[in-house]
Amino acid sequence: MVERKKIIILGAGFSSLSAACYLAKAGYDVTVLEKNEAIGGRAKQLKRDGFTFDMGPTFYWMPDVFERFFADFTREVSDYYQLLRLDPSYTVCFGEDDFVEVPADFTRIKTTFDHIEPGSGKQLEHFLSKAEANYNIAVKDLVYQPGESISEIITPATLKRLGAFTKSISTDIAKYVRDSKLRKLLEFPVLFLGAKPSSTPSFYNFMNFADLRLGTWHPKGGMYEVADGIARLAANLGVDIKLNSPVDDIVIEKKQVVKVCSGKEEYDCDILLSGADYHHTEQLLPQAYRQYSENYWNKRTFAPSALLFYVGFDKKLSGLAHHTLFFDVDFDEHASAIYDTPSYPERPLFYASFPSMSDDEAAPEGKEAAIFLIPLAPGLDDNDEIRKRYFNIIMSRLEKTTKQKLRSHVIFKESFSVNDFVSTYNSYKGNAYGLANTLLQTHVLRPKLRSRKVKNLFFTGQLTVPGPGVPPSLISGKIVSELITKHHAP
Ligand SMILES: Cc1cc2nc3c(=O)[nH]c(=O)nc-3n(C[C@H](O)[C@H](O)[C@H](O)COP(=O)(O)OP(=O)(O)OC[C@H]3O[C@@H](n4cnc5c(N)ncnc54)[C@H](O)[C@@H]3O)c2cc1C
């Protein structure tokens, strides 16, 4: 019998799990080593007193990417989890008695726009037709390129759109709508890319198409169910997933990884793929085999870290939607505290999610599960005092804007922030979403999937191509597995 090549994969986040499926299907012998006690990476799940929380991603966008992933294995999304389209997709709070719902139906979205700024519904249609064209170019083709050479993205379609790579999405949006609320609403989707809208190329308006046309979905049971579905597929394809197995050493001989160590356990391999944070993986290598210096990492624009709260309420809440964004304070002031002068924002924007408003598995009957997220600059000091202060700020703003008593209805709260991102995921400076997608951190300018110094070492995940988010992580796993197959056939 021919021996199959052995691949070890670090981490069991979306990118690693995706790669594991493709590599097992291609015929490799695949073992995943995950540091934590569960799969899912940043999509960890918290269960407490009958409540279930997604600790990381909550927005299920770009359903087509998930469909394409499962179709590659002749499976369907519905074989693994049940999807529900949310309506409204989300609600934005701009102040007391000032909430704007973004409905699922596009005709109703246009009516909402026209109501705020007459004529803006038609403008939105124009804006989104360009966004759709970019979506078709980007998400159906460009994002599946490995970022090895700039020629991958120089196509007749992108050459026609050079301007969209040099001007910012903020500038572009301002050409279509004048109203500040509508501008904020259209700038919101690119926040998922981890940078300021004023630093994000307008080509990324395809995120607006994803938002307003493809919709916001919720997997029953939460985003963890998606990771669990992919892990089940991987197991079905023969992947061995070992939990509680933090890799602490990578052994190199003659410029090749020969084995990795996790405590006393040693795992020989022909190929090593890391889906753990890039900086951390390089720290496990002898200095001579690291591709990027500390200075390199220090100069990157990292996507934000976050302060998160997972809260159980003893009653149902009113006046809120499954996803509610609190943009009732100065957007630029908060963005500046993240990107310009890293510090805690005086008046934070925050995001709130109440999964139990549409999913009865998220909380016991008559109760509400809540997740609150404040985006923060990575690397900030993090302590209990600060967490307490910001929890109070959130509660006060929520009580005021929704006119209901909340504090006395909290059954429990748990928090997660910078220090936890570092200790739980080995995240560089506690970043939550990896490396931002700015113009200078796109495609070939992102950390490479294939090591230039170690022949059989590869990387995947939100710090590589195409970037942060669950759909890009699935794509990253696919691209890297194709690269591995190309350079080291099974
Ligand atoms: C709070 C939050 C909210 C988000 N919201 C959204 C959203 O709404 N929608 C969306 O699409 N995306 C969202 N994202 C982004 C999305 O979750 C990530 O981009 C994606 O999950 C990253 O997957 P990954 O595989 O690249 O990395 P990870 O999920 O970080 O996986 C890496 C894995 O490697 C493991 N590891 C680290 N070191 C070692 C080691 N030495 N040995 C073994 N294993 C190791 C880690 O434990 C981890 O499990 C959010 C992220 C966060 C944190």
CA of 277 to the centre of ligand 1 (A): 9
Determine how β-strand 271-274 pairs with β-strand 305-313.
Answer: unpaired
Task: Look at residues 257, 346, 354 and name the one whose alpha carbon lies nearest to residue 313.
Answer: 354
The predicted model scores a pTM of 0.97
What would the pLDDT profile of 412-468 be if each residue is shown by its tens digit? 999 999 999 999 999 999 999 999 888 889 889 999 999 999 999 999 999 999 999
What would the pLDDT profile of 14-29 be if each residue is shown by its tens digit? 999 999 999 999 999 9
Cβ atoms within 10 Å, residue 310: 21
Query: Which atom number of ligand 1 is nearest to the Cα of residue 15?
Result: 25
- Helix (H) or strand (E) holding 472, with range, is helix 470-487
Query: Which atom number of ligand 1 is nearest to the Cα of residue 463?
Result: 26
Q: Is the dihedral of CA 218, 222, 223, 228 positive or negative?
A: negative
Q: What Cα–Cα distance (Å) separates residue 189 from each residue in 56, 193, 205, 211?
A: 17, 8, 8, 7
Q: How confident is the model at residue 3 (pLDDT cuts 50, 70, 90)?
A: confident
Mutate to test the pocket of ligand 1, among 418, 433, 478 (most ligand atoms within 8 A of CB): 433
Find all residues with CB under 8 Å of 109, minimum gap 6, and list them: 102, 103, 121, 124, 212
Please name the residue whose Cα sits nearest to atom 4 of ligand 1: 57
Kindly state the tokens that stand for 396. Answer: 């006060």
Which of helix, strand or coil describes residue 448? coil
Asked if residue 307 has its Cβ within 6 Å of ligand 1, the reply is: no
Asked if residue 283 has its Cβ within 6 Å of ligand 1, the reply is: no
CA of 13 to the centre of ligand 1 (A): 5
3-state helix, strand, coil in the chain (%, to 5): 40, 20, 40
**pLDDT, position 46:** 98
* Phi, psi dihedral angles at 21 (to 5 degrees): -65, -50
Say which residue the tokens 């109070």 belong to.
Answer: 392
Q: How far is 301 from 435, CA to CA, in rounded Å?
A: 6
What would the pLDDT profile of 42-51 be if each residue is shown by its tens digit? 999 999 999 9
161 or 298, greater pLDDT: 298
Please name the residue whose Cα sits nearest to atom 41 of ligand 1: 247
Find all residues with CB under 8 Å of 129, minimum gap 6, and list them: none
Task: Look at residues 332, 57, 371 and name the one whose alpha carbon lies nearest to residue 218.
Answer: 57
Sketch out the chain's domains with CATH numbers: 6-47+56-82+221-299+438-487 (3.50.50.60), 107-214 (1.10.405), 301-425 (3.90.660.20)
Asked if residue 219 has its Cβ within 6 Å of ligand 1, the reply is: no
**pLDDT, position 263:** 96
Beta bridge mates, 371: 310, 353
Query: Which atom number of ligand 1 is nearest to the Cα of residue 461?
Result: 26
Find all residues with CB under 8 Å of 364, minimum gap 6, and list them: 49, 50, 51
The packing angle between helices 63-71 and 470-487, to 10°, is: 30
What would the pLDDT profile of 331-356 be if each residue is shown by its tens digit? 889 999 999 999 999 999 999 999 99
Q: Are 50 and 363 in contact (CB under 8 A)?
A: yes
User: Vertex 334, ends 218 and 431: CA angle to 5°?
Assistant: 60
Residue 115, Cβ density class (10 Å: 0-12 exposed, 13-18 middle, ≥19 buried): exposed
